[in-house]
Amino acid sequence: MLRAKCVFFILRNLTMSSKNVFVPRINPVTGESEWIPQNENYDYYQEIARSAYADMLHDTERNKKYELALKKAIDRMHSQGKPANVLDIGTGTGLLSMMAARHGADSITACEAFHPMAKCAKEVIKTNGFEEKINLISKRSTEITVGPGGDMPHRANILVTEVFDTELIGEGGLGTFHHAHQVLLEDDCTVVPTSANVYAQVVNSDFVRKWNTIQPLDIPGHMTIQPPQEITKYDGTASLHDLQLDQISTDLFQPITDPVCIFRFDFSGKTKIEFQRWMSKLVETLASGRCDAIFMWWDLQMDVDGDVLLSCAPRWAHPEPQAMQWRDHWMQAIFYPSNVCNVEKGGQVLIHSIHDEYSWWFDVRTPNDNMNNLCKEIPAGSSGLHLVCSRPRLGMLNDCHRREAYIGALRKVIKEDSICLCVSDGSQLPLIAAALGAKKVYVTETSPASRTLSRDYVKSNNLDSVVTILDKSPGDITQEDLGGNKITLCMAEPYFYSSLLHWHNLYFWYSWSHLSDLMVDSVTILPRRAILKAAAMEFDNLWKIRAPVGNCEGFDLGQFDQLIEKACDISDDSVEPQPLWEYPGTAVSTPFTLLELDMTTPVSQITHPIRNEGTIALQGSDTCHGVAIWMEYDLDDDHTVCTGPRGQQVQPGVKVNWDYYTRQGVHLFKTPVKVTSKTSVTFSALFNPSDGDVKLTFNVIKEDSICLCVSDGSQLPLIAAALGAKKVYVTETSPASRTLSRDYVKSNNLDSVVTILDKSPGDITQEDLGGNKITLFMAEPYFYSSLLHWHNLYFWYSWSHLSDLMVDSVTILPRRAILKAVAMEFDNLWKIRAPVGNCEGFDLGQFDQLIEKACDISDDSVEPQPLWEYPGTAVSTPFTLLELDMTTPVSQITHLIRNEGTIALQGSDTCHGVAIWMEYDLDDDHTVCTGPRGQQVQPGVKVNWDYYTRQGVHLFKTPVKVTPRTSVTFSALFNPSDGDVKLNFNV
């Protein structure tokens, strides 16, 4: 009966909507068009997940300084004999409004334009007891009306708002402040924050310059590949380069100037807010050198007196470097000047800056330059290079380690008769191959803009006769395109602009597999192997971006955590890309291999999924936050390109230096894991060659796990014991089953860990558990007495009786039960309930009446049947009847759970009834399904049913003729008081 491994884990997600639609996409690995199921509200939830509210709430300095300034503003109004009428624009969770209420504001109006967040704020405010104090308006501030009958009865005299981003003004803050002063605020108002200062610092840095221009590529003994002249001219108008500036070591740049304040913004209303300004400032130079970049950041003066300062400066310029707050929602930025400017120490440099309502532009000049042509508005154009290449991609192309590896590997295989094909976007490999003497090099790229840039590169280096850029995808290339040649070398970095995760770059592997007929038998594939690796990590701060907020400054934000958790569950993959060099962390394991892929074998010849699983011990630190993932490409025996650790052997307890130019994959656990000498992580990796999909699962095993299993004859207790649980207790409904389980435990020498209790769950005491508290409550669930799927919810009721014997953070497995259904045309099953009518010429109507009456009296509307024995065709898409969160004690559910809807019939001419099954979500990656077996159910297609369970069946009294307008209405009701489930289906 067991279908999935019992695993010990930190839950990451909450619940997933069962309403999916099929949406088209281009598979980043195969390059093929495909339809994938996606939650119908995917975009909605993705916007919530990406909103960065949680990151802001973990910003303790921000929270405390906002509250301090807000309290001062309220006290100031009261000291003047005025009421404190607060307006909170962009309230988010309602945190700032609740702070205002806590400090005695007389009236509070909070506005939030993002409706999901406004709904959440309403719940948070109610939970914390401020629903009578705070007037929440789900509107943009620019839509608020003031006066009798309006949203606000009168203007406010205190404004508190946080409408800032890394650029300070990128979220439209200037317009927000301007409108508020015009329409929503009294003249003599107080604004929190009162003002902002923007800073710039000119630096010299070969390291930083690699993110801006492509540098010449020297191939010793052959030639130096020069970038086209047109792409070396940069007008400085590409968008800002935002990053954690503090992670650039100070030995990687030389300050040319001190940080200087370029602009001040007065939000108080005392002076007019300007939407567009320019400024030129002469600044003394601290050192000689080239001006490669301008670092930019800002700070906020929170109060009128200037006592409360909130700074986003990097450590070397921060007013309190020893007490810096980590934050990811406000970072620093780099801007790049439009031309090369060299200065001498002790001289001056002119910093020229412009801002409009939303963005910035910076440049540098020497005092000797012509000042008449200084821009007064942000230029409109941008270099083609920066439209095609991201900043990390430019750095990657300039990376000396990559260049040396590619040149070294190609030297070994390039001959004068080499016919090469390169499958990568914007790669220098074709130029290297041509410079090393290849006869012919063909190139295919996924991006038209990248192909244009590559042609410019080829032309400017006079390699037109050797290198040909093809305007075709790999699958469309013909022998004619190759001039009748056959490929002797197929190469890639690999890198593609569409790739987000490392395995997306396996597109190269799929591409060359399409071209095997155009290759010589002895073709060389470079790289020859891809190795997906990982290491468990303790992150200094990155874990906070997904960590629950819980209590924030004394306020309960539990509803917000639930909203974010559900949104991430629906819209996020379990692995997300992050530039880990910006997010320091310590290894908590040795590196381990997830997958090893031989790319010299055509992927089309791999007929089965490639799997790997194992267990890795955690060590070297007290905490583990998740797993970092990277790819290593073996070019040959001597040359490897690594997208992970940079020039070091990863060791537990040691900080990892990550590659500057790629994003690593990160899997974050829901809550930090306490590491002991026996804590380990199990992993499983699966590569599906049919679609290039990679599935990764990571679960934490703790030696202190105290488990209770409520299931009959289950193997879960044995698995838990084998995986290292400290103690496993078992309760079963059947005495005979308990005897069998004891024999199983004894024969496997697990008596010291597994205890079979002769008690029902409601009778278990702390003494029965040896004084322990349960950390994991688990079930398949399966009970011998169960006939219908919902009878197995006995597990849910069982654990609800035991909540006093559990730790607060107890893990419930399975966490969710989903009752599903699909309309069916059965080949023959319908006959068991169909009226006989006329049989061989005899009228059996009275018999039909007798049977019908008997069934009405004795039978439920749903009966269990092993549907794998009774073939049938789906006549609808699957639909959800009930979704039950089993992590909530059923005793806390005080209302009936209902669901109803209408499902269209399609795919056949006849419908006989409805098939019903249960799906149990164990965690993010493991589900046990008692219904369809390994298929996506589609109308008009036979359903393959699970061999080992009986599905529920509701048969209509007579077959239903299906037309384009035929549908089934359904209603489902779960009564928590007695566990009864009532289902109704009508055509």
**3-class DSSP state of 723:** coil
Q: Which CATH number fits domain 59-192: 3.40.50.300, 3.40.50.150, 3.40.50.2000, 3.40.50.720?
A: 3.40.50.150
- Distances 519 to 406, 513, 746, 902 between C-alpha atoms, Å: 22, 10, 61, 55
Mean pLDDT along residues 178-189: 96
> Residue 279 corresponds to which tokens in the numbers above?
């400024």
Q: Which CATH number fits domain 816-986: 3.40.640.10, 3.40.720.10, 2.70.160.11, 3.40.50.10090?
A: 2.70.160.11
pLDDT of 50 reads 55
Compute CA 436 distance to the chain's CA centroid, rounded to the nearest angstrom: 42
Same fold: 395-526 with 712-813: yes
Q: Provide the strand spans (E) within 410-528.
A: 419-423, 440-444, 467-470, 487-491, 519-526
- Which residues on neighbouring strands pair with residue 332, listed in sequence order? 243
Mean pLDDT along residues 403-425: 95
Q: For the segment 576-605, what is each residue's pLDDT rounded down to a tens digit?
A: 999 999 999 999 999 999 999 999 999 989
Q: Provide the strand spans (E) within 664-815.
A: 664-674, 680-688, 693-701, 706-710, 727-731, 754-757, 774-778, 806-813
Query: Mean pLDDT highest for which of 115-124, 178-187, 559-568, 753-762?
Result: 178-187
pLDDT of 5 reads 29
pLDDT of 563 reads 80
Amino acid at 558: G
Measured torsion, CA atoms of residues 90, 93, 99, 104, in degrees rounded to the nearest 10: 80
* Site of tokens 């002469």: 282
CB burial readout 265-285, b (16+ within 10 A) else e: bbbbbeeebeeeebeebebeb
pLDDT of 15 reads 28
pLDDT of 13 reads 30
Question: Between 804 and 220, where is the model more confident?
Answer: 220
Does 460 score more than 90 pLDDT? yes
Q: How confident is the model at residue 465 (pLDDT cuts 50, 70, 90)?
A: very high
Contact by Cβ (8 Å): 238, 386: yes
| Catalytic pick among 112, 162, 167, 445 | 162
Mean pLDDT along residues 306-317: 96
CATH number of the structural domain 197-273+280-320+327-388: 2.70.160.11
Does 560 score more than 90 pLDDT? no
> How many of the other CB atoms lie within 10 Å of CB of 622?
12
| Catalytic pick among 47, 61, 123, 171 | 171
Does 45 score more than 80 pLDDT? no
> Residue 423 corresponds to which tokens in the numbers above?
């499958």
Does 525 score more than 90 pLDDT? yes
User: In this structure, are strands 816-826 and 879-885 parallel, antiparallel, or unpaired?
Assistant: antiparallel
CA dist 952 and 599 (Å) reads 47
**3-class DSSP state of 410:** helix
- Distances 228 to 58, 207, 225, 398, 565 between C-alpha atoms, Å: 46, 21, 9, 15, 48
Q: What would the DSSP string read from start to end of 882-910?
A: EEEETTS-GGG--S-EEEEEEEE--SSSE
pLDDT of 152 reads 96
Q: Which of 712, 697, 710, 692 is nearest to 667 (CA)?
A: 697
CA dist 340 and 233 (Å) reads 9
User: In this structure, are strands 872-874 and 816-826 parallel, antiparallel, or unpaired?
Assistant: antiparallel
Mean pLDDT along residues 536-558: 91
Amino acid at 571: S
162 is catalytic: yes
Q: For the segment 783-797, what is each residue's pLDDT rounded down to a tens digit?
A: 998 889 999 999 998
pTM, two decimal places: 0.75
Mean pLDDT along residues 648-652: 92
User: Which of 492-501, 762-771, 854-863 is predicted with the least confidence, judged by mean pLDDT?
Assistant: 854-863
Q: How confident is the model at residue 18 (pLDDT cuts 50, 70, 90)?
A: very low
pLDDT of 388 reads 86
The angle subtended at Cα 333 by Cα 327 and Cα 339, nearest 5°, is 170
pLDDT of 277 reads 95
In what helix (H) or strand (E) does residue 77 lie, and over which residues does it extend? helix 60-79
Contacts of 586 (CB under 8 A, 6+ apart): 537, 538, 620, 621, 653, 654, 655, 656
**3-class DSSP state of 612:** strand
- Distances 683 to 504, 614, 628, 812 between C-alpha atoms, Å: 20, 6, 12, 20
Q: How confident is the model at residue 1 (pLDDT cuts 50, 70, 90)?
A: very low
Contact by Cβ (8 Å): 705, 680: no
Superfamily for the 712-813 domain: Vaccinia Virus protein VP39 (3.40.50.150)
Tell me, letter by letter, the H, E, C secondary structure of 631-654.
Answer: EEEECCCCCEEECCECCCCCCCCC
CB burial readout 543-561, b (16+ within 10 A) else e: bbbbbbbeebeebbbebbb
First to last CA, the chain: 35
pLDDT of 261 reads 98
Q: Which of 485, 480, 491 is nearest to 434 (CA)?
A: 491
pLDDT of 376 reads 83
Amino acid at 216: P
Does 654 score more than 70 pLDDT? yes
Q: For the segment 884-904, what is each residue's pLDDT rounded down to a tens digit?
A: 988 888 888 888 999 999 999
Question: Between 49 and 148, where is the model more confident?
Answer: 148
Q: Which of 756, 876, 893, 875 is nearest to 827 (CA)?
A: 875
CA dist 39 and 768 (Å) reads 45
pLDDT of 16 reads 31
Contact by Cβ (8 Å): 755, 732: no
Does 242 score more than 60 pLDDT? yes
Sheet holding 419-423, edge to edge: 467-470, 440-444, 419-423, 487-491, 519-526
Largest CA distance in the chain: 115
User: Which of 506-515, 592-601, 628-637, 657-666 is predicted with the least confidence, judged by mean pLDDT?
Assistant: 506-515
CA dist 535 and 616 (Å) reads 9
Q: What would the DSSP string read from start to end of 161-208?
A: E----TTSSTTSHHHHHHHIIIIIEEEEEEEES-EEEEEEEEEE-HHH
186 is catalytic: no
Phi then psi for residue 794, to 5 deg, are: -50, -35
Q: Where are the domains of the chain?
A: 59-192, 197-273+280-320+327-388, 395-526, 531-701, 712-813, 816-986
The angle subtended at Cα 243 by Cα 242 and Cα 249, nearest 5°, is 135
Compute CA 808 distance to the chain's CA centroid, rounded to the nearest angstrom: 27
pLDDT of 844 reads 75
Contact by Cβ (8 Å): 353, 167: no
Contact by Cβ (8 Å): 218, 398: no
Amino acid at 533: K
CATH number of the structural domain 531-701: 2.70.160.11
pLDDT of 267 reads 97
The angle subtended at Cα 274 by Cα 271 and Cα 280, nearest 5°, is 105
Q: How confident is the model at residue 402 (pLDDT cuts 50, 70, 90)?
A: very high
Q: Is 172 left (phi over 0), alpha (psi -120 to 50) or beta?
A: left
Residue 207 CB burial class (10 angstroms; 0-12, 13-18, ≥19): middle
Does 221 score more than 80 pLDDT? yes
Residue 913 CB burial class (10 angstroms; 0-12, 13-18, ≥19): buried
CA dist 769 and 804 (Å) reads 12
Share of the chain above pLDDT 90, in %: 68
Residue 238 is classified by DSSP as S
What is the average pLDDT score of the chain? Answer: 89
CA dist 348 and 330 (Å) reads 30
Mean pLDDT along residues 520-536: 96
pLDDT of 893 reads 84
Does 671 score more than 60 pLDDT? yes
pLDDT of 37 reads 55
Q: Which CATH number fits domain 395-526: 3.80.10.10, 3.40.50.150, 1.20.1630.10, 3.40.50.300?
A: 3.40.50.150
Q: What would the DSSP string read from start to end of 521-540?
A: EEEEEES-EEEEEEEEEEES
The angle subtended at Cα 318 by Cα 314 and Cα 320, nearest 5°, is 130
Total length of the chain: 987
CA dist 926 and 932 (Å) reads 15
pLDDT of 11 reads 25
Q: How confident is the model at residue 722 (pLDDT cuts 50, 70, 90)?
A: confident
Rg (CA), the chain: 33
